[in-house]
């Protein structure tokens, strides 16, 4: 904005000093316009305020300088008092920010009073509670109908345990209804703002923390009992993180460290087996009930009902998997079964992990077998899988624990590959990748087979990553074409039998020689699994050689007895001693070679 001001002003022009009049002043541009008379003509010029006064100051007398000073004060003081629009806007924004911060602080303090602020994750707990209040949840009940599924996949959420309650852990799992479950995954933005990413999963059944073992059994394993009386194969396995409640669900409730075997799926299934056996339509068939209980630990099978005797898994000429040496115990009532469960559970291998001080480190398989005149009629396999762990969780553990975790993850990966092969209708299903899938083979490829998977999840926030991995694993199983026709399954099984038809030479082929495609398995993982399998084979061969050497010791004792006789045939003694030395040398040399190979593979695995 410009102002009209008249004043005597001196400027320099053509080396002469003239009186000038200030016509206009522009405060925005900090300029002024002056006019003066020179040679009877009016001239004008626009100059910057600072330059004009500074340039002229040395040439003005004292009086004029005072006048200019007064003018400067009259021009600059109003300018200094004024604030630009930008400054005003910035001050408004600052005030608004302070007001919002005060409001947020007030809301935060109010919410902190509603929640225990001493809880490390109380903000996430509040967000979860607010989200749950905005939706309607309805848990599954015993009155809900039971649906028929060839492959049933369900999820069970366990309650927070005493240790988690002591740490005030946040529950991030919400069971919406009988089919849906939500995971409230905690997230933090770049500006450190906390929020929840709600991930939704759908399964055949979803059980919240209030569901009992009996309710879980009612919807999962109970519908499968009828299958074995119809001459089929049934499998129910519990999968999940260490400490998620698998053994609790399958074996029974815990009272301290004592397990109530009568309150688990093992016992519930056996009770229903005897109920059906006594029905008129099955009683006339003369079915007999047997049970077996074994564990798979570090790729080896052990009979839990026979003092953990080591077992061997072989295939007969009909390509049926046989567990050599496994004892089948005849049972006549549910009480007999419970006693067998207690005996086997007491022998099961356990160890300490990051998540559980007494974690099951093996896959336990409890089988209920029906036989008719000695022939197999049906089989129900109830499997309590070992807890899945990441390599990072065992990196600080000892070598034995790392080997356990590697073998567990190898078998679980093999199980996943078999499920993937079934879902994609592949011609070859890699059952030989682990002992677990070998044992469960007939339950996957049988024409009259049914499978149920119970995915166990932990509700605490620290287990969020494991929970999501478990749910994704279960979701992969759920993607299978459950309603495939019987003819398609039969053709798939026949194709597999043709490809897996083996002679005596190929029967000794390493399981890992049956390679998966490159997009399914990385080269490093394939080599790692080969090394594990090779180590297991060398160990078994070394044990066989030691047994052979032990038997030859009897021949040595016979030679000593011969030499102690008063009269003995020296020539026969020398001949037998020479044979003993030659055969023993071969055994010891073979044992030494296997030992060196075992050491080299073990070192490679440790480095890899």
**Inter-CA distances, 215 with 112, 139, 211, 321, Å:** 38, 12, 6, 33
Which residues does residue 321 pair with via DSSP β-bridges, in sequence order?
A: 315
Instruction: Give the pairing type, strands 233-240 and 449-457.
Output: parallel
Structure token digits, residue 560: 């000593």
Q: What are phi and psi of 319, to 5 degrees?
A: 65, 30
The annotation status of 241 as a binding-site residue, yes or no, is yes
In this structure, the chain runs to a length of 608
Q: Is 21 labeled as ligand-binding?
A: no
CA-wise closest residue to 241 among 315, 161, 179: 161
Q: How far is CA 14 from CA 38, 46, 588, in A?
A: 10, 16, 121
How do 300-303 and 309-315 pair as beta strands?
A: antiparallel
218 CA to centre of own chain = 27
Count of Cβ atoms closer than 10 Å to residue 481 Cβ: 13
Query: And the tokens for 243?
Result: 């400490």
**247 annotated to bind ligand:** yes
Helices marked H in 220-264: 222-229, 246-251
Exposed, middle or buried, 4 (CB in 10 Å: 0-12/13-18/19+)? exposed
Report residue 157 as tokens.
């959420």
Phi, psi of 357 (to 5 degrees): -75, -20
Query: What are the CB-based long-range contacts (under 8 Å, 24+) for 256-261?
Result: 257/358, 259/342, 259/345, 261/338, 261/341, 261/342, 261/345
Q: Of 28, 219, 61, 82, which Cα lies nearest the Cα of 142? A: 219
- Is 44 annotated to bind a ligand? Reply is no
Q: Is the separation of the CB atoms in 174 and 143 below 8 Å?
A: no
Find out whether 272 and 359 touch, Cβ atoms under 8 Å: no
Sign of CA dihedral 433, 299, 494, 152: negative
Residues 370/378, Cβ–Cβ less than 8 Å = yes
> Six-digit token pair at 581?
């030395």
Contact indicator for 60, 10 with CB cutoff of 8 Å: yes
Q: Which of 442, 422, 432 shows the shortest CA–CA distance to 365? A: 442
Cβ atoms 327, 305 nearer than 8 A: yes
Q: Flag whether 378 is marked binding.
A: no
Binding residues: 240-247
Binding residues for ATP: 240-247
């Amino acid at each position: 904005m410009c102002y009209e001001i008249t004043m005597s002003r001196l400027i320099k022009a053509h080396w002469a000093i003239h009186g000038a009049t200030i016509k206009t002043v522009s405060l925005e541009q900090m300029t002024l316009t002056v006019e003066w008379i020179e040679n009877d003509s009016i001239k004008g010029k626009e100059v910057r305020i600072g330059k004009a006064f500074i340039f002229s100051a040395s040439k003005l007398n004292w009086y004029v300088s005072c006048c200019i000073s007064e003018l400067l004060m009259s021009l600059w003081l109003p300018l200094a008092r004024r604030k630009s629009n930008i400054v005003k806007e910035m001050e408004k924004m600052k005030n608004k920010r302070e007001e919002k911060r005060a409001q947020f602080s007030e809301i935060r303090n109010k919410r902190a009073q509603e929640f225990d602020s001493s809880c490390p994750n109380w903000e996430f707990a509040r967000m979860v509670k607010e989200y749950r209040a905005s939706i309607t949840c309805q848990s599954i009940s015993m009155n809900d109908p039971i649906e028929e599924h060839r492959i049933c996949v369900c999820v069970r959420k366990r309650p927070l345990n005493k240790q988690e309650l002591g740490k005030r852990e946040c529950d991030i799992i919400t069971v919406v209804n009988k089919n849906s479950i939500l995971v409230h995954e905690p997230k933090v933005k770049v500006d450190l703002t906390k929020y929840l990413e709600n991930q939704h999963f759908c399964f055949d059944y979803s059980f919240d923390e209030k569901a009992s073992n009996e309710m879980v059994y009612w919807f999962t394993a109970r519908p499968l009992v009828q299958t074995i009386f119809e001459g089929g194969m049934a499998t129910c396995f519990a999968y999940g993180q260490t400490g998620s409640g698998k053994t609790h669900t399958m074996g029974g409730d815990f009272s301290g460290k004592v397990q109530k075997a009568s309150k688990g799926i093992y016992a519930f299934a056996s009770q229903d087996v005897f109920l059906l056996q006594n029905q008129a339509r099955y009683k006339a068939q003369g079915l007999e009930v047997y049970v077996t209980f074994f564990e798979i630990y570090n790729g080896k099978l052990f009979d839990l009902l026979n003092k953990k005797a080591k077992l061997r898994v072989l295939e007969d000429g009909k390509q049926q998997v046989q567990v050599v040496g496994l004892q089948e115990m005849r049972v006549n009532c549910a009480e007999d079964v419970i006693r067998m469960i207690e005996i086997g559970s007491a022998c099961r291998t356990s160890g300490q992990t990051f998540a559980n001080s007494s974690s099951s480190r093996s896959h336990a398989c409890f089988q209920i077998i029906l036989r008719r005149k000695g022939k197999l009629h049906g089989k129900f396999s109830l499997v309590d899988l070992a807890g899945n762990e990441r390599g990072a969780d065992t990196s600080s553990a000892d070598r034995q624990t790392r080997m356990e975790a590697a073998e567990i993850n190898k078998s679980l990966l093999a199980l996943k590959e078999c499920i993937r092969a079934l879902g994609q209708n592949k011609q070859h299903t890699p059952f030989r990748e682990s002992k677990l899938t070998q044992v469960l083979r007939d339950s996957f490829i049988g024409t009259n087979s049914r499978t149920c998977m119970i995915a166990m999840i932990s509700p605490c926030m620290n287990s969020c990553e494991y929970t999501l991995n478990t749910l994704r694993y279960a979701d992969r199983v759920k993607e299978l074409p459950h309603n495939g026709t019987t003819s398609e399954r039969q053709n798939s099984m026949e194709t597999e039998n043709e490809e897996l038809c083996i002679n005596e030479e190929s029967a000794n082929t390493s399981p890992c020689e049956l390679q998966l495609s490159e997009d399914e398995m990385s080269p490093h993982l394939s080599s790692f699994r080969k090394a594990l399998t090779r180590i297991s084979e060398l160990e078994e061969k070394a044990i066989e050689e030691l047994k052979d050497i032990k038997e030859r010791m009897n021949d040595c004792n016979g030679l000593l007895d011969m030499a102690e006789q008063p009269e003995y045939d020296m020539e026969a003694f020398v001949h037998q001693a020479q044979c003993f030395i030659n055969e023993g040398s071969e055994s010891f040399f073979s044992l030494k070679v296997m030992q060196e190979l075992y050491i080299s593979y073990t070192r490679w695995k440790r480095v890899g």
